[in-house]
Amino acid sequence: MIPLTVVILTKNEQKNIKDCLQSVYKWADEIIIVDDESADSTRDIASFYANKVLVKKMDIEGAHRNWAYQQAKNNWVLSLDADERVTEELKSEIADTLNNPNSKVAFAIPRRNFIADYWVKYGGWYPSAQLKLFRKDRFKWEESHVHPVAFTDGEAGRLESDLIHYSYKDISDFLNKQNRQTTLEVEKWIAQGKRIKVGKFLWRSIDRFFRSYIKKKGFRDGFYGFVVAYFASLYQFLSLLKYREHVHKS
Protein backbone atom coordinates (compact mmCIF):
# COMPACT_ATOMS: atom_id res chain seq x y z
CA MET A 1 0.00 0.00 0.00
CA ILE A 2 1.08 3.57 -0.64
CA PRO A 3 1.26 6.41 1.93
CA LEU A 4 -1.90 8.13 0.75
CA THR A 5 -5.21 8.96 2.44
CA VAL A 6 -8.36 8.64 0.36
CA VAL A 7 -11.14 10.90 1.66
CA ILE A 8 -14.70 10.29 0.47
CA LEU A 9 -17.68 12.47 1.37
CA THR A 10 -21.02 10.66 1.42
CA LYS A 11 -24.74 11.28 1.79
CA ASN A 12 -27.12 8.35 1.15
CA GLU A 13 -24.69 6.65 -1.25
CA GLN A 14 -25.45 2.97 -0.59
CA LYS A 15 -25.75 2.31 -4.35
CA ASN A 16 -22.36 3.83 -5.17
CA ILE A 17 -20.06 3.56 -2.19
CA LYS A 18 -19.04 -0.11 -2.42
CA ASP A 19 -17.67 0.16 -5.97
CA CYS A 20 -15.86 3.39 -5.09
CA LEU A 21 -14.23 1.85 -2.02
CA GLN A 22 -13.29 -1.36 -3.82
CA SER A 23 -11.38 0.72 -6.37
CA VAL A 24 -8.97 1.94 -3.64
CA TYR A 25 -9.17 -0.82 -1.01
CA LYS A 26 -5.76 -2.28 -0.05
CA TRP A 27 -4.06 0.23 -2.33
CA ALA A 28 -4.07 3.40 -0.19
CA ASP A 29 -2.99 2.85 3.40
CA GLU A 30 -5.84 4.97 4.80
CA ILE A 31 -9.45 5.45 3.71
CA ILE A 32 -11.69 7.95 5.49
CA ILE A 33 -15.42 8.34 5.02
CA VAL A 34 -17.04 11.59 6.17
CA ASP A 35 -20.76 10.94 6.10
CA ASP A 36 -23.42 13.64 6.08
CA GLU A 37 -25.91 11.81 8.33
CA SER A 38 -27.00 9.23 5.75
CA ALA A 39 -30.37 7.58 6.32
CA ASP A 40 -29.50 4.46 4.30
CA SER A 41 -26.81 1.78 4.75
CA THR A 42 -23.91 3.89 3.48
CA ARG A 43 -21.99 3.78 6.77
CA ASP A 44 -22.56 0.04 7.27
CA ILE A 45 -21.11 -0.72 3.84
CA ALA A 46 -18.24 1.73 4.29
CA SER A 47 -17.22 0.31 7.67
CA PHE A 48 -15.96 -2.89 6.01
CA TYR A 49 -13.47 -1.00 3.82
CA ALA A 50 -12.65 2.30 5.54
CA ASN A 51 -10.21 2.92 8.38
CA LYS A 52 -12.46 5.68 9.72
CA VAL A 53 -16.15 6.40 9.23
CA LEU A 54 -16.90 9.85 10.63
CA VAL A 55 -20.33 11.44 10.83
CA LYS A 56 -20.58 15.20 10.31
CA LYS A 57 -23.48 17.21 8.95
CA MET A 58 -22.50 19.28 5.93
CA ASP A 59 -23.27 22.97 6.20
CA ILE A 60 -20.85 24.81 3.94
CA GLU A 61 -19.32 22.51 1.34
CA GLY A 62 -15.89 24.13 1.19
CA ALA A 63 -15.51 24.17 4.97
CA HIS A 64 -16.78 20.58 5.20
CA ARG A 65 -14.18 19.39 2.70
CA ASN A 66 -11.35 21.27 4.42
CA TRP A 67 -12.28 19.70 7.76
CA ALA A 68 -12.43 16.23 6.21
CA TYR A 69 -8.93 16.49 4.71
CA GLN A 70 -7.43 17.51 8.04
CA GLN A 71 -8.52 14.15 9.51
CA ALA A 72 -5.99 12.35 7.27
CA LYS A 73 -2.86 10.85 8.82
CA ASN A 74 -0.95 11.28 5.54
CA ASN A 75 -0.02 14.61 4.03
CA TRP A 76 -0.98 13.46 0.52
CA VAL A 77 -4.74 13.15 0.05
CA LEU A 78 -6.84 11.82 -2.82
CA SER A 79 -10.32 13.34 -2.64
CA LEU A 80 -13.08 11.22 -4.16
CA ASP A 81 -16.84 11.36 -4.47
CA ALA A 82 -18.86 8.17 -4.04
CA ASP A 83 -19.70 8.08 -7.76
CA GLU A 84 -16.03 8.05 -8.78
CA ARG A 85 -13.76 5.05 -9.45
CA VAL A 86 -9.95 4.89 -9.56
CA THR A 87 -8.61 2.92 -12.54
CA GLU A 88 -5.58 0.63 -12.37
CA GLU A 89 -3.70 3.01 -14.68
CA LEU A 90 -4.40 5.92 -12.36
CA LYS A 91 -3.30 3.91 -9.32
CA SER A 92 0.06 3.21 -10.97
CA GLU A 93 0.54 6.84 -11.98
CA ILE A 94 -0.29 8.15 -8.50
CA ALA A 95 2.07 5.63 -6.89
CA ASP A 96 4.87 6.67 -9.26
CA THR A 97 4.15 10.36 -8.58
CA LEU A 98 4.36 9.93 -4.80
CA ASN A 99 7.49 7.77 -5.04
CA ASN A 100 9.36 10.35 -7.12
CA PRO A 101 9.86 13.66 -5.28
CA ASN A 102 8.82 16.76 -7.20
CA SER A 103 7.93 20.38 -6.51
CA LYS A 104 4.19 20.05 -7.20
CA VAL A 105 1.77 20.43 -4.29
CA ALA A 106 -1.35 19.24 -6.13
CA PHE A 107 -2.39 17.42 -9.29
CA ALA A 108 -5.45 17.69 -11.49
CA ILE A 109 -6.85 14.37 -12.69
CA PRO A 110 -8.82 14.00 -15.95
CA ARG A 111 -12.27 12.44 -15.58
CA ARG A 112 -14.43 10.33 -17.86
CA ASN A 113 -17.89 11.65 -17.06
CA PHE A 114 -20.87 9.37 -17.69
CA ILE A 115 -24.61 9.92 -18.02
CA ALA A 116 -26.09 6.46 -17.38
CA ASP A 117 -23.68 4.19 -19.31
CA TYR A 118 -22.67 6.81 -21.89
CA TRP A 119 -19.23 8.43 -21.69
CA VAL A 120 -19.66 12.09 -22.69
CA LYS A 121 -16.53 13.01 -24.65
CA TYR A 122 -17.41 16.47 -25.95
CA GLY A 123 -19.17 19.65 -24.87
CA GLY A 124 -16.36 20.42 -22.41
CA TRP A 125 -16.98 17.23 -20.42
CA TYR A 126 -13.67 15.55 -21.21
CA PRO A 127 -10.97 15.59 -19.97
CA SER A 128 -12.58 17.95 -17.42
CA ALA A 129 -9.58 17.62 -15.07
CA GLN A 130 -10.09 18.49 -11.40
CA LEU A 131 -7.66 18.98 -8.50
CA LYS A 132 -8.12 15.69 -6.68
CA LEU A 133 -4.63 14.78 -5.43
CA PHE A 134 -2.88 17.23 -3.12
CA ARG A 135 -0.80 17.91 -0.05
CA LYS A 136 -3.27 18.79 2.70
CA ASP A 137 -0.90 21.38 4.16
CA ARG A 138 -0.72 23.27 0.85
CA PHE A 139 -4.32 23.05 -0.35
CA LYS A 140 -7.74 24.33 0.69
CA TRP A 141 -11.19 25.05 -0.71
CA GLU A 142 -12.98 28.37 -0.59
CA GLU A 143 -15.55 28.01 2.19
CA SER A 144 -18.69 28.44 0.08
CA HIS A 145 -21.84 26.35 -0.39
CA VAL A 146 -21.55 25.58 -4.10
CA HIS A 147 -18.74 25.46 -6.67
CA PRO A 148 -16.01 26.46 -4.19
CA VAL A 149 -12.71 27.63 -5.64
CA ALA A 150 -9.55 25.61 -4.92
CA PHE A 151 -6.43 27.36 -3.60
CA THR A 152 -2.93 25.87 -3.67
CA ASP A 153 0.15 27.19 -1.92
CA GLY A 154 2.54 26.20 -4.68
CA GLU A 155 2.58 24.80 -8.19
CA ALA A 156 -0.04 22.31 -9.40
CA GLY A 157 0.55 19.65 -12.04
CA ARG A 158 -1.61 17.28 -14.03
CA LEU A 159 -1.78 13.51 -14.30
CA GLU A 160 -2.49 11.64 -17.54
CA SER A 161 -4.62 8.68 -16.40
CA ASP A 162 -8.38 9.00 -16.05
CA LEU A 163 -10.71 8.87 -13.08
CA ILE A 164 -14.10 7.33 -13.85
CA HIS A 165 -17.04 9.51 -12.82
CA TYR A 166 -20.63 8.27 -13.01
CA SER A 167 -22.02 11.79 -12.98
CA TYR A 168 -25.72 11.05 -13.40
CA LYS A 169 -27.58 7.75 -13.39
CA ASP A 170 -30.20 9.11 -15.83
CA ILE A 171 -31.78 12.32 -17.13
CA SER A 172 -34.03 12.65 -14.06
CA ASP A 173 -30.99 12.47 -11.78
CA PHE A 174 -29.26 15.13 -13.90
CA LEU A 175 -32.28 17.42 -13.62
CA ASN A 176 -32.74 16.85 -9.88
CA LYS A 177 -29.11 17.65 -9.13
CA GLN A 178 -29.26 20.73 -11.31
CA ASN A 179 -32.29 21.93 -9.39
CA ARG A 180 -30.40 21.57 -6.09
CA GLN A 181 -27.24 23.18 -7.44
CA THR A 182 -29.02 26.23 -8.85
CA THR A 183 -30.72 26.79 -5.49
CA LEU A 184 -27.33 26.74 -3.78
CA GLU A 185 -25.89 29.00 -6.49
CA VAL A 186 -28.54 31.64 -5.80
CA GLU A 187 -28.02 31.35 -2.04
CA LYS A 188 -24.33 32.04 -2.68
CA TRP A 189 -25.16 35.15 -4.74
CA ILE A 190 -27.48 36.45 -2.04
CA ALA A 191 -24.91 35.86 0.71
CA GLN A 192 -22.29 37.73 -1.36
CA GLY A 193 -24.70 40.60 -2.07
CA LYS A 194 -24.47 40.18 -5.83
CA ARG A 195 -26.79 42.13 -8.10
CA ILE A 196 -27.80 40.11 -11.13
CA LYS A 197 -28.60 41.76 -14.47
CA VAL A 198 -31.40 39.99 -16.35
CA GLY A 199 -30.08 40.77 -19.83
CA LYS A 200 -26.63 39.44 -19.02
CA PHE A 201 -27.98 36.16 -17.74
CA LEU A 202 -30.39 35.67 -20.63
CA TRP A 203 -27.45 36.11 -23.00
CA ARG A 204 -25.33 33.77 -20.88
CA SER A 205 -28.05 31.14 -21.08
CA ILE A 206 -28.04 31.26 -24.88
CA ASP A 207 -24.25 31.44 -25.05
CA ARG A 208 -23.82 28.34 -22.85
CA PHE A 209 -25.86 26.23 -25.24
CA PHE A 210 -23.97 27.20 -28.39
CA ARG A 211 -20.59 27.09 -26.66
CA SER A 212 -21.21 23.52 -25.50
CA TYR A 213 -23.02 22.18 -28.56
CA ILE A 214 -21.11 23.94 -31.36
CA LYS A 215 -17.79 25.36 -30.15
CA LYS A 216 -16.97 22.37 -27.92
CA LYS A 217 -18.46 19.91 -30.43
CA GLY A 218 -21.19 18.55 -28.17
CA PHE A 219 -23.14 17.54 -31.29
CA ARG A 220 -20.66 14.67 -31.71
CA ASP A 221 -22.17 13.03 -28.62
CA GLY A 222 -25.56 12.85 -30.31
CA PHE A 223 -28.55 12.81 -27.96
CA TYR A 224 -26.49 13.23 -24.80
CA GLY A 225 -24.51 16.04 -26.40
CA PHE A 226 -27.75 17.95 -26.87
CA VAL A 227 -28.82 17.19 -23.30
CA VAL A 228 -25.53 18.49 -21.91
CA ALA A 229 -25.75 21.71 -23.94
CA TYR A 230 -29.41 22.26 -23.08
CA PHE A 231 -28.79 21.72 -19.36
CA ALA A 232 -25.81 24.08 -19.45
CA SER A 233 -28.20 26.72 -20.74
CA LEU A 234 -30.94 25.71 -18.32
CA TYR A 235 -28.58 26.08 -15.35
CA GLN A 236 -28.14 29.77 -16.10
CA PHE A 237 -31.85 30.32 -16.72
CA LEU A 238 -33.00 28.49 -13.58
CA SER A 239 -30.50 30.41 -11.47
CA LEU A 240 -31.86 33.68 -12.88
CA LEU A 241 -35.49 32.70 -12.24
CA LYS A 242 -34.77 31.67 -8.65
CA TYR A 243 -32.86 34.90 -8.04
CA ARG A 244 -35.71 37.00 -9.44
CA GLU A 245 -38.19 35.09 -7.29
CA HIS A 246 -36.10 35.88 -4.22
CA VAL A 247 -35.96 39.58 -5.14
CA HIS A 248 -39.73 39.80 -5.56
CA LYS A 249 -40.34 38.06 -2.23
CA SER A 250 -37.92 40.33 -0.35
Each residue of 178-187: pLDDT tens digit? 999 999 889 8
- In this prediction, residues 210-230 reach a mean pLDDT of 98
Each residue of 67-123: pLDDT tens digit? 999 999 999 999 999 999 999 999 999 999 999 878 899 999 999 999 999 999 999
User: Domain segments of the chain: what residues?
Assistant: 2-167, 170-249
- In this prediction, residues 192-216 reach a mean pLDDT of 89
Each residue of 32-76: pLDDT tens digit? 999 999 999 999 999 999 999 999 999 888 999 999 999 999 999
CA distance 178 to 170: 13
pLDDT over 90 at 248, yes or no: no
CB 17 within 8 A of CB 44: no
pLDDT at 26: 96
pLDDT at 112: 98
CA distance 142 to 240: 23
Burial call 142-161: b when 16+ CB within 10 Å, e when fewer: eebbbebebeeeeebeebee
pLDDT at 145: 67
Burial call 36-58: b when 16+ CB within 10 Å, e when fewer: bebeeebbebbeebbebbeeeeb
Each residue of 8-40: pLDDT tens digit? 999 999 999 999 999 999 999 999 999 999 999
Backbone angles phi, psi at 233, to 5 degrees: -70, -45
pLDDT at 244: 87
Which CATH architecture fits 2-167?
A: Alpha-Beta Complex (3.90)
pLDDT over 90 at 174, yes or no: yes
Each residue of 142-172: pLDDT tens digit? 887 677 889 999 999 999 999 999 999 999 9
Q: What is the pTM of this model?
A: 0.91
- In this prediction, residues 194-211 reach a mean pLDDT of 88
pLDDT category at 247 given cuts 50, 70, 90 is confident
pLDDT category at 212 given cuts 50, 70, 90 is very high
Largest Cα span, the chain: 57
